[in-house]
Chains A and B, each alone.
Chain A
Amino acid sequence: AQSVTQPDIHITVSEGASLELRCNYSYGATPYLFWYVQSPGQGLQLLLKYFSGDTLVQGIKGFEAEFKRSQSSFNLRKPSVHWSDAAEYFCAVVTFGGYNKLIFGAGTRLAVHP
């Protein structure tokens, strides 16, 4: 069955430091992959998505993610974290069947120290 794993439940970084959030997927075909961000008490905002083509995708708020088929990974990165990036981050994959279904990872909660 298709699945998404986010190995890190909590991550703490200092403001200005670089960030990498890990995401591994299990899917037999070419995956369609997403990263969403959720601020406390808010809905989910789409950061970026990968469907095909260039394996390094750029998103909003200075985030990027790299698709690595050999590692079944789609890690999210940001070169310099801002305090406003503190939130929960979800990786997701679309599975295709009777209807297209979005499978989410459990999420990674990011804390940013000043």
Chain B
Amino acid sequence: SQTIHQWPATLVQPVGSPLSLECTVEGTSNPNLYWYRQAAGRGLQLLFYSVGIGQISSEVPQNLSASRPQDRQFILSSKKLLLSDSGFYLCAWSVRGSSTDTQYFGPGTRLTVL
């Protein structure tokens, strides 16, 4: 069966520090991968989408970037964190080429920027 992992689970970082969040998927190949952010009191915002290694689409301009160095690995990064980057970050995967695109979510990373 497929599983999706995210780490760390919780992170507290000072403003201006770098960020690296990791997401890995097991039990499937060639998945579509997604990064979402869930800010306090708000819904889910799609940040990045990837259909393959090195292929990243950005949904919104922001202080963050994403990379996909391996087929089942998706990394969310920032060079300098802002207070507004605080939130709950969720990674998700779906079957590539699926017409229905059911997305399955990881456990999330709680990021607090102070």
Q: Which residues of A contact B (CB under 8 A)?
A: 32, 34, 36, 41-46, 49, 51, 90, 94, 99-102, 104-107
1/0 contact trace for B64-94 toward A, CB 8 Å?
0000000000000000000000000010101
Asked if B104 and A46 make an inter-chain contact with CB atoms under 8 angstroms apart, the answer reads yes
Whether A90 lies near B44 (C-beta < 8 A) is: yes
Size category of the binding interface on chain B: 20 to 34
Give 24 CB contacts A-B under 8 Å. Answer: A32-B101, A34-B102, A36-B105, A41-B110, A43-B6, A43-B90, A43-B105, A43-B106, A43-B108, A44-B90, A44-B92, A46-B102, A46-B104, A51-B100, A94-B100, A94-B101, A99-B51, A99-B57, A100-B94, A100-B101, A101-B46, A102-B46, A102-B101, A107-B43
Interface string of B11-38 (1 = CB under 8 A from A): 0000000000000000000001010000
Would A102 and B103 count as touching, CB distance under 8 A? yes
Interface of A is mostly: strand
Q: For residue B6, which residues in chain A have a CB less than 8 angstroms away from its CB?
A: 43
Contact A104 B43 (CB under 8 A): yes
Residues of B within 8 A of A104 (CB): 43-44
Kindly state the separation between the CA atoms of A99 and B32 in the bound complex, as whole angstroms: 10
B98 CB to closest chain A CB, in angstroms? Answer: 8
Q: Which among A36, A43, A106 has the highest number of chain B CB atoms within 10 Å?
A: A43
Closest B residue, CB atoms, query A106: B43
